């Protein structure tokens, strides 16, 4: 059993990871300020004897240092962040505070808290920007296109420096690709395309394809991401590592709609919308490093993942 702190525990990825960590016998402290996290996401965790929730803002100086000193976790999964690319453009100061400075506060606190052995950071495929060399490998030069991607890249460097400063600490930055699954909030127009399509189908509307639908993404189920987080928190490793969390399979939006139609048992007719400005045409990760370092391989196939999502 490992004692684990999860920041952003009430979020989409956070809550699925908390559920898995508890099921695997770990002791979990969740931290959330509920800016975007939702209480109902933690419904299964509340009342669990190995779960505790702290309602606080991890970006407030002193908060993380206090929790690491008092709660004494052995590993920290840092998911608390500003998660929206458009918001990072509209509010660059908030992006800097939540996606760079907060990582700095965590790294500083972890370097001085003797009990912390492992940091795991939620990074993103956004660090690659429009890198044309596919599949994307971790060593590809990061050329982020948004303040969000740039901040995630900066946070990776912060983690690397923390490990140099405290050799007893190891750290992993996980570059999540396009994550989908239950609890992803479809209310924002910039939510993941799968949750937007699923919400449209549930409400009897035609899903809107921006552009010709030939663009591809590497869609990964949130259950797989939770498993990657679990392995990153608990596998024996030293040093600092950057890993893609992806499937290595490219799926176009047209294929996605066809798979949704298959799951529903009826063809889906999309509505057409103009291509998004700055949209990336293809994004595909190479999953080899996560497989060799963590033994992680994404398991869920898209059609059954979609069927589950559309049923819920
Ligand atoms: C993902 C991330 C984003 C950032 C970016 C970096 C999500 C939700 N977003 O953006 O945060 O990390 O990668 O590369 O994971 N689309 C439609 N109809 C819709 C919604 C979207 O056609 O109703 C298209 C959209 O134009 C794009 C594709 O679907 O071509 C995927 O869109 P997305 O917003 O789910 O994800 P992405 O890869 O643009």
3-178+220-245 CATH pick, 1.10.3330.10, 2.60.120.620, 3.20.20.100, 3.40.50.720: 3.40.50.720
> Residue 285 to residues 79, 225, 230: CA-CA distances in angstroms?
20, 14, 20
Residue nearest to atom 36 of ligand 1 (CA): 192
pLDDT, tens only, 16-51: 999 999 999 999 999 999 999 999 999 999 999 999
CA of 232 to the centre of ligand 1 (A): 26
* Token pair 């996980």 in the structure block, residue: 174
Residue nearest to atom 20 of ligand 1 (CA): 193
Backbone phi, then psi, for 133, in 5-degree steps? -85, 100
CA of 35 to the centre of ligand 1 (A): 22
What percentage of the chain carries pLDDT values higher than 90? 86
The number of angstroms, rounded, from the C-alpha of 311 to the middle of its chain's C-alpha atoms is 23
What pLDDT was estimated at residue 265?
A: 87
Q: How many CB atoms lie within 10 A of CB 141?
A: 9
Residue nearest to atom 21 of ligand 1 (CA): 193
What pLDDT was estimated at residue 130?
A: 87
pLDDT, tens only, 292-303: 999 999 997 898
CA of 198 to the centre of ligand 1 (A): 14
In the chain, beta strands by DSSP E: 3-7, 27-32, 51-55, 75-78, 118-124, 170-176, 178-180, 208-210, 216-217, 219-221, 240-245, 251-252, 271-273
pLDDT of 194 > 80? The answer is yes
pLDDT of 190 > 80? The answer is no
pLDDT of 159 > 90? The answer is yes
Domain ranges of the chain: 3-178+220-245, 180-217+248-283+300-311
DSSP string, 90-120: H-HHHHHIIIIIHHHHHHHHHHH-TT--EEE
Mean pLDDT of 46-57: 97
Is the shortest distance between the CB of 215 and ligand 1 below 6 Å? yes
Question: Does domain 180-217+248-283+300-311 sit in CATH 3.90.25.10?
Answer: yes
3-178+220-245 and 180-217+248-283+300-311 in the same fold = no
pLDDT, tens only, 105-121: 999 999 999 799 999 99
What pLDDT was estimated at residue 66?
A: 97
- Nearest Cα neighbor of 20 from 195, 234, 171, 186 is 234
178, 180, 209, 284, best to mutate for ligand 1 pocket (most atoms within 8 Å of CB): 178
What pLDDT was estimated at residue 243?
A: 98
pLDDT, tens only, 77-100: 999 999 988 899 999 999 999 999
Which of the four pLDDT bands, split at 50, 70 and 90, describes residue 257? very high
């Amino acid at each position: 059993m490992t004692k684990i702190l999860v920041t952003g525990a009430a979020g989409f990825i956070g809550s699925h990871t908390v559920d898995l960590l508890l099921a695997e016998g770990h002791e979990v402290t969740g931290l959330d300020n509920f800016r975007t996290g939702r209480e109902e996401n933690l419904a299964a965790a509340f009342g669990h004897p190995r779960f505790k929730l702290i309602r606080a803002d991890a970006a407030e100086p002193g908060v993380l240092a206090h929790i690491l000193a008092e709660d004494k976790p052995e590993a920290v999964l840092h998911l608390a962040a500003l998660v929206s690319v458009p918001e990072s453009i509209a509010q660059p100061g908030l992006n800097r505070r939540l996606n760079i400075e907060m990582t700095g506060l965590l790294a500083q606190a972890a370097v001085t808290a003797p009990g912390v052995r492992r940091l795991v950071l939620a990074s993103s495929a956004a660090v690659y920007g429009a890198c044309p060399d596919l599949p994307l490998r971790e060593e590809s030069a990061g050329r982020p296109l948004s303040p969000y991607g740039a901040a995630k890249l900066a946070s990776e460097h912060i983690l690397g420096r923390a490990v140099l400063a405290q050799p007893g600490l190891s750290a992993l930055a996980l570059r999540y690709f396009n994550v989908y699954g239950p609890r992803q909030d479809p209310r924002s127009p910039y939510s993941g395309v799968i949750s937007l399509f699923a919400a449209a189908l549930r409400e009897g509307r035609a899903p809107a394809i921006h552009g010709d639908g030939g663009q591809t993404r590497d869609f990964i189920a949130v259950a797989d991401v939770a498993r990657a987080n679990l392995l990153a928190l608990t596998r024996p490793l030293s040093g600092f590592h950057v890993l893609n969390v992806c499937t290595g399979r490219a799926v176009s939006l047209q294929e996605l709609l066809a798979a949704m139609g298959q799951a529903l048992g009826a063809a889906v007719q999309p509505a057409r919308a103009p291509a998004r400005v700055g949209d990336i045409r293809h994004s595909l990760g190479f999953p080899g490093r996560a497989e060799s370092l963590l033994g992680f391989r994404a398991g869920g196939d898209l059609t059954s993942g979609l069927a589950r999502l559309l049923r819920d």
